[in-house]
Amino acid sequence: MNSEKDERISEKFIDKDWNEIKSNDSWAIFKIMSEFVEGYEKLSKIGPCVSIFGSARTKPEHKYYKIAEDLAFQLCKKGYGVISGGGPGIMEAANKGAKNARGKSVGLNIELPFEQHFNPYVDDDKRLNFDYFFVRKVMFVKYAQGFVVLPGGFGTLDEFFEALTLIQTKKIAKFPIVLMSKSFWGGLIEWIKNVLLENNNNINKEDLDIFFLADTVEEAVGYIDDFYQQYLLKPNF
């Protein structure tokens, strides 16, 4: 463990007096409020959008990058805007596809130690920077009429399960969630079915209907479009 990590851990065990705690927390509250206000003001004007998730490490020559780009293009041609995390990889592909289709291209960037920067395909007036993951996650959900989850790591899984939980517990209205690539997600889905549902009864069978597994862009776009043949587009909460 390096010295920087040692210091961060040690700081958690240092007693702070009440005035110090109150001062630090008060400033944090104002910062959190400002991120919510800026997000609400900008995103409330963008209209129906689909949030697209996936790995920041995916290179432009990879098939999943190309799928994300085509997916975003097709969604924008259907009248949706696209929201991504604003960074590289799948996020860049999503914004690139939206830009090429002349659709709305939104980027919700997060300040990270390794300095994630906006990709060049996010619209200038639709760039938002966040310090807090939880504020950013609210924006992804509140202003999206659908999620498309491409292969990714912990952050992608986090967004997927957050949306599942919110819909399962009826904290937000149901909206389409698409998992792209049966070969990538198939093992996880089998684990959910076998371990969570059948072996331990930790979820209901109906919970499996919250998401849809797709292998092609046509399947994903069709599923989202079919969903909204039955419902009016509206904010999720």
Q: Does 237 fall in a domain?
A: no
Q: Does 192 fall in a domain?
A: yes
What angle, 0 to 180 degrees and rounded to 10, lies between the N-to-C axes of helices 154-168 and 133-142?
60
Q: Does 7 fall in a domain?
A: no
Q: Does 26 fall in a domain?
A: yes
Which residue numbers in the chain have pLDDT < 70? Answer: 1-24, 113-116, 231-237
Buried b (16+ CB within 10 A) or exposed e, 123-159: beebebebeeeebbbbbbbebbbbbbbbbbeeebeeb
Q: Does 35 fall in a domain?
A: yes
Give the tens place of pLDDT for each residue, 100-133.
999 999 999 987 766 568 999 999 999 999 999 9
Q: How many distinct structural domains can be found in the chain?
A: 1
Q: Does 213 fall in a domain?
A: yes
Domain interval for residue 101: 16-230
CATH number for 31:
3.40.50.450
Q: Does 9 fall in a domain?
A: no
Q: Does 6 fall in a domain?
A: no
pTM score over 0.75: yes
